Amino acid sequence: MIDVARVRRETPGCDNVIHFNNAGAALQPQPVLDAVLGHLRLEAEIGGYEAAERAETALEGVYGSLARLINAAPDEIALVENATRAWDMAFYSLKLGPGDRILTASAEYASNVIAFLQIARRTGAEITVVPNDEAGAISVEALERLIDGRVKLIAVTHVPTNGGLVNPAAAIGRVAARHGIPFLLDACQSVGQMPVDVAEIQCDMLSATGRKFLRGPRGTGFLWVRRSLIERLEPPFLDLHAARWTGAESYEIRKDARRFENWESYVAGRLGLGAAVEYAMATGLDAIWARVKALAEHLRRSLAEVRGVAVRDLGRERCGIVTFTAEGVSAAALSESLAAEKINVKTSSIFSTRYDMSARGLDLLLRASVHYYNTEDEIARFCAAVCKRLMAR
Ligand SMILES: Cc1ncc(COP(=O)(O)O)c(C=O)c1O
């Protein structure tokens, strides 16, 4: 059980706003703030390089914390600027050629699909979108049927940016493992709100961000790559951190996952990310997941009772992201009205998830994403505010 009063006391932002934009960037807890501000202060006092040297043990510890979070090893982790860069470093390391196929799902994130399209144009590789099951998740049976010798990558988003759907990552992993096909999981929206275990999922590469459900600082993210794959992946760009300049015409790429990093980094942010991961693990991922799911279902039920509201989430198992449309009021206008009442939400447009949104005839949704520090009382106030805005239309 989570001590909600305590986690709210430890979250300064709870005093100011109803924050239902956790899928955008969650409110940071005090230990994250302390880690970031403490290091920024040290940099100002003694110098940036000198502060990093002093924080060396803590910085190394961030790899260990992330490894424990996802049941991996520290040398399989790369710390990067965000989830997109993490995902890109894995994807652009793969060697795809004419006729090679990428299997993906309809909820895939725009940046990933843009990268598929770029590589398809460059190399003649092909993209296949696996059909959904009747609940709206990727159909694992259809995925299995599509496997043949040409499939060189399965790349799927675990939780999409635009809804409560949770794709069946472990079932996909079983198919990928059985056929020996690399499986790249975009876990940007899942890490931090639910237990994510790479051994159980059997993915080969996983990307995630710091600022969303992990509650870390902006400008942080990480990539995990299975150890047996690391040395087979040549990063799309290298620097003097990812590789060593060994002779006038030679260099050696690092053997660990830090080959996907580059030298300069947001050191305070990394320390904040480490603090966020430790905070999440101390709170307990199972407890976080149970509360997030319960709050989100409560929110869906309450919204469904508001006349004119249509909840749009897909999937049998649903997470903390709740999306809906309201008759007669655009998602943008509703979001503005809520902001005036210090309620944070976000809109999600077709430009982020075109395959899915166009299939459903949607172009803009309102996204209210809850975390474990939110409360039933906030949900009631949120629904009252939505109701009030709809009555005024
Ligand atoms: C599913 C998914 N993947 C990737 C990203 C990109 O994450 P970042 O902004 O940290 O690069 C997002 C961001 O919203 C996302 O929702």
Q: Tell me how far the alpha carbon of residue 102 lies from the centroid of ligand 1, in angstroms.
A: 20
Q: Which residue of 80, 109, 166, 194 sits with most ligand 1 atoms within 8 Å of its CB, as the best mutation to test the pocket?
A: 109
Note whether 26 and 212 are within 8 A (CB). yes
DSSP string spanning 112-143?
Answer: HHHHHHHHHHHH--EEEEEPB-TTSSBPHHHH
Question: In the structure, what pLDDT confidence band is assigned to residue 393 with cuts at 50, 70 and 90?
Answer: confident
Query: What pLDDT does 232 receive?
Result: 97
What pLDDT sits at residue 153?
Answer: 98
pLDDT, residue 228, reads 97
Rounded mean pLDDT, 205-209: 98
CA 69 to chain CA centroid, Å, is: 14
Helix (H) or strand (E) holding 382: helix 376-391
Q: Give the residue whose CA is nearest to atom 3 of ligand 1.
A: 188
Amino acid identity for residue 136 in this structure: G
Per-residue pLDDT tens over the stretch 183-197: 999 999 999 999 999
C-alpha closest to that of 125 among 157, 143, 99, 87: 99
pLDDT of 6 strictly over 90: yes
Q: Inform me whether the pLDDT recorded for 115 exceeds 90.
A: yes
Measure 321 CA to ligand 1 centroid, in angstroms.
Answer: 14
* Average of per-residue pLDDT across 65-90: 98
Ligand 1 centroid, distance to 84 Cα (angstroms): 6
As for ligand 1, residues whose beta carbon falls within 6 Å of it are 82-84, 109, 157, 160-161, 186, 188-189, 209, 221
Span from the CA of 334 to the centroid of ligand 1 (angstroms): 23
Tell me if residue 19 falls in helix, strand or coil: strand
Report whether pLDDT(343) > 90.
yes
pLDDT, position 371? 98
What spacing in Å lies between the alpha carbon of 24 and ligand 1's midpoint?
A: 9
Cα-only R_g, the chain: 21
Mean pLDDT of 305-325: 97
Q: How far is the CA of 228 from the centre of ligand 1 (A)?
A: 26
pLDDT, mean of residues 40-55 = 98
Please provide the average confidence, as pLDDT, over all residues in the chain: 98
Report pLDDT digits (tens) over 244-296.
999 999 999 999 999 999 999 999 999 999 999 999 999 999 999 999 999 99
Pocket residue to mutate for ligand 1, from 167, 188, 266, 365, most atoms within 8 A of Cβ: 188
Cα–Cα dist 96/336, whole Å: 44
pLDDT at 173: 98
Per-residue pLDDT tens over the stretch 166-175? 999 999 999 9
CB 289 within 8 A of CB 194: yes
Q: CA-CA distance, 5 to 90, in Å (whole number)?
A: 40
What is the per-residue DSSP string for 20-87?
A: -BTTT-PPPPHHHHHHHHHHHHHHHHH-HHHHHHHTHHHHHHHHHHHHHHHT--GGGEEEESSHHHHH
